[in-house]
Chain A
C-alpha cells in the first residue's frame, strides 16, 4: 500500500474530464498494485519458492541420476547420493556415442525438422489472421469459427488418412511429411492466437495508416508486424517445444531411419530392444533438453510478455 500514489492531492489538482479518466486509471492501478503487493508478500514468495522447489525436485533427481554409475542407479535412489558420491560421465558417453549412428545425425535431423515446422505455420497463420481480423469479406465469421473448431480434431484420427495421402503423393519417408503435418496440426491454434492479438490492436492505428495511403501489404509489414513480435515469439516457442519433443508424428510419417529420425526417436530407443539399459534414459533426456532450454531462456522475455500482453499499451 505504501507504493500507492497519494490519491487525495490528485483529486484536488483538476476537476474535469481528464480527471475522471485519471481516477479510473488510478483505481485500476490501485488494484494492480494491491495484487502486486499481495503477491510479493513474504508469505506468497515463500509459497512460490516452495512450489518451485517441489516442482524442480524430480528434474533435479533426474540430473543427479544421469551422472551416477550404472550399478548405483540400479541399486539405490538418487537421494542416497550424498552418502557415497560417485559421479561418472559414462551414461552421457554411452548415450552420445554408444550407437553406430552418431547422435549428431539425429540432432541435425531434429533441427531440420523443427525450423521449417515452426516457420511455415507462423507465416501462414499471420496472413490468415490478418485477413480474419482486418479484411471484411463474406462468411468471415463462419470461416473463422470453422478454423477454430478444427482444434478439436485429435491428431491421432488423422494419422492413417494423412499417411495414405503422403504415400499417394510419394512423400512418405521424407522431411516434407513431418513439416506438412506439424503445420497442419499447428495452424488452427496459431490462427486463433494471432487473430486475437491482431484484433486487439486499435482500429484507429490501421485506419490512420489506410488514410495515409498504405495498402494491405504495407499495413501488415510496417504497422502490425512490429506490434506482434511478442505474440509471434511466444507462439514460436510453443511450436518449437511441441515439435522438438514430438515423437508420434515423426515416427508415424517419417519412420525411424537415420536419414530423417529426430532425437526423440533415438532417445525412445536408448534403453535397448528389451529395455534393459534404462539407466541411459536420464542422460538422454538431458541431452534432449539442452536445446529447448537455450531457446526458452533466450526468448523467455517474449514468452512472458506474449502471454500477458493482451492489448497494446503504448
Chain B
C-alpha cells in the first residue's frame, strides 16, 4: 500500500519533476564537486556590505540535488566565512510539489530557487503574502549585471521578485569536429546551410544518418521535442510571435506554429535524416534524451540538437573540444537562424525569497552578485554558467560553457526563456510533452497535435 501511495504522489508531482528535469539550469559533471578548497583564503572586502550575520541561519530550498548540490553549498562558503551566517541547504526532486504545500501550511523556506518563470508567476498569484519582493540591493544588482530579458523573467506585474541564478542555453547543435574536418563540412551559419549540410551528409554517408534525437525522460518524456519546436518557432515566426504564443495571446494551434511544427517534422520525422545509430523515426520517442548523442563520436550520426548541459552526458572517453585533431571529440554550434535576428532559447532558475529578515536579503544580494557567480564557477568543474555579466569567463572550465556565456551576454542575441516552462503546468508540463511524444511515437499529424494541446489549455 505504501508503494501505491508513493506512486500516487509521484504521479501528482510528475509534472513538477519533469519541469525540474527539463529546466533546472545549473548542470554539473558526474564527478561530484571538483575543486572546492580554493575558497579557503577569501578576500572578505566585498562582503562587508552584508554586515555581521553571526549565528544567523538562512534556509534554502531547491530542486538541485546531489551531486550538483555539493557545488551549490561549496559556492556559499565565502559568504559563510565572511559574514558568519549559516546556509541550511535542502534539495529535493519533489520541489515543485512540496513548495506550495509548505507555503500553504505556513512553513516556507527563506529562499527557494524557482526553476520556471511560470511557476514564479503562479506562486506570486497564489501566495501574495508569502513571496517577498526583492530588496533594493538586489534590484540594483539585477539591473547592473543582467540583461533586461533576464530581469523581466523575474518580474511579476512590474515588481521584481526574483533574480536569475544559473542559466543554460538550449539552441545548440552538437557535432564531431573531427568528422566535420574529415569530410570537409563546415559549421552552418544559416538555416539553409544546415539543411544543405543535412542533405549532403545523408548522401555521403548511407551507413549513418545526419541527425540523432531522443525524447525519453521518464515522467517528463517529450520535453526535448518541445525545445525543438520552440527553437524553430523563434526562428520562423520571431520572438514577438513566440511571446504571444507562450502567453496564449494567440492560440496554441495558430497557423504559424503549425508551419513551424512542419519544419521540425521535416527533420525529426524524415526517415532519411533520423535516427542515426539508433533506429527509425519512432525510436526517437523511446531513446533516452541523455544518451541520444552517443552515436556522434561513433560516426553513426552527425548532428544532435541539445542544450549546453548535455555535456555532462557524454561518455568518459569523449572530450568536449573544438579541436578537430581530438579523437572522439565533440563540440556544439549555435542552431542557425532563418533571418537576421539571432534568437537564443535557454533556461535558468530564479532566487525567490519568502522572508525579509536582513540576513535573507543579504544572501539574496550575494546570489545576484558577480562574487557568487565567480565562487560558483570556481567550484564547478563543467556544465554551469550564469547570465551574470560580472562573471569572469576565464573561470569557466569547459569551452562550451564559455561559448554559452558569450552568447548569453552578447546583446545581438535575443534571449527567450524556454516556453514550456512559462506555460501553465497542464500544458507546459503535461499536454505539450505528451502530444509531442504522440506526434513522433504514433505519427500523429501536426494539426491534431497542436489542436490537442490547445484543448488542454486551462481556461
Contact = CB atoms under 8 A, between A and B. Distances in A.
A248 B24 contact: no
A58 to B, nearest CB: 13
Interface in A252-302: 252, 255-257, 265, 268-269, 272-278
A248 B6 contact: yes
B45 interface: no
B66 A163 contact: no
A100 interface: yes
Nearest to A173: B107
A173 B64 CA distance: 20
Nearest to B115: A273
Contacts of B220: 275
A167 B27 CA distance: 34
A252 B104 CA distance: 12
Given A100-B33, A163-B101, A167-B105, A155 B5 contact: yes
Contact of B68 (A166, A167, A272): A272
B13 to A, nearest CB: 10
A48 to B, nearest CB: 24
Contacts of A255: 61, 90, 92, 98
Contacts of B61: 255
Given A156-B8, A247-B6, A273-B68, A268 B94 contact: yes
10 contacts: A99-B32, A247-B6, A255-B92, A256-B90, A257-B90, A269-B91, A273-B27, A274-B20, A276-B290, A277-B30
Nearest to B92: A256
B3 A245 contact: yes
Contacts of A156: 8-9
Interface in B13-46: 17, 20-21, 24, 27-28, 30, 32-33
B73 A100 contact: yes
B70 interface: yes
Given A245-B2, A273-B65, A251 B90 contact: no
A276 B290 CA distance: 7
Given A100-B66, A164-B105, A269-B93, A276 B312 contact: yes
Contacts of A277: 30
Nearest to B105: A163
Given A274-B24, A276-B313, A248 B67 contact: no
Nearest to B315: A71
A64 B173 CA distance: 36
A97 to B, nearest CB: 10
Contacts of B5: 155, 246, 248
Residue in A245, A248, A272 whose Cβ sees the most chain B Cβ within 10 Å: A272
Contacts of A159: 101
Nearest to B68: A273
Interface residues of A, number: 38
A303 to B, nearest CB: 16
Ranked nearest first, the 7 interchain pairs of A and B with the lowest CB-CB distance are A163-B105, A99-B66, A269-B65, A276-B290, A256-B92, A245-B2, A164-B105
Contacts of A166: 105, 107
A160 B101 contact: yes
B217 interface: yes
Interface in B299-324: 309, 312-313, 315
Nearest to A269: B65
Interface of B: 1-3, 5-6, 8-9, 17, 20-21, 24, 27-28, 30, 32-33, 61, 63-70, 73, 88, 90-94, 98, 101-102, 104-107, 217-218, 220, 288, 290-291, 309, 312-313, 315
Given A100-B70, A252-B101, A273-B68, A164 B106 contact: yes
A99 B70 CA distance: 8
Interface string A75-103: 00000000000000000000000111100
Given A100-B70, A100-B73, 8 more contacts: A100-B32, A163-B107, A172-B105, A247-B6, A251-B92, A252-B101, A273-B27, A275-B217
Interface of A: 71, 74, 98-101, 155-156, 159-160, 163-164, 166-168, 172-173, 241-242, 245-248, 251-252, 255-257, 265, 268-269, 272-278
Residue in B6, B73, B313 whose Cβ sees the most chain A Cβ within 10 Å: B6
B88 to A, nearest CB: 7
Contact of B21 (A100, A251, A257, A275): A275
A255 B91 CA distance: 9
Contacts of A168: 106
A100 B105 CA distance: 30
Contact of A273 (B20, B94, B105, B107): B20
Contacts of B101: 159-160, 163, 252
B90 A160 contact: no
A272 B217 contact: no
Contacts of B3: 245
A88 to B, nearest CB: 14
B9 A167 contact: no
Contacts of B91: 256, 269, 273
Contacts of A273: 20-21, 24, 27-28, 63-65, 68, 91, 93
A250 to B, nearest CB: 11
A274 B288 CA distance: 12
A247 B94 CA distance: 11
A9 to B, nearest CB: 51
B336 to A, nearest CB: 26
Contact of B65 (A247, A252, A272): A272
B67 A99 contact: yes
Nearest to B22: A274
A56 B388 CA distance: 53
Contacts of B28: 273
Contacts of B1: 242
A275 B218 contact: yes
B343 to A, nearest CB: 24
Contacts of A256: 90-92
A25 B221 CA distance: 62
Contacts of B70: 99-100
Contacts of B218: 275, 278
Contacts of B63: 273
A168 B66 CA distance: 31
Contacts of B98: 251-252, 255
Nearest to B291: A74
Nearest to B59: A257
Contacts of A71: 315
A163 B103 CA distance: 10
A246 B2 contact: yes
A274 B290 contact: yes
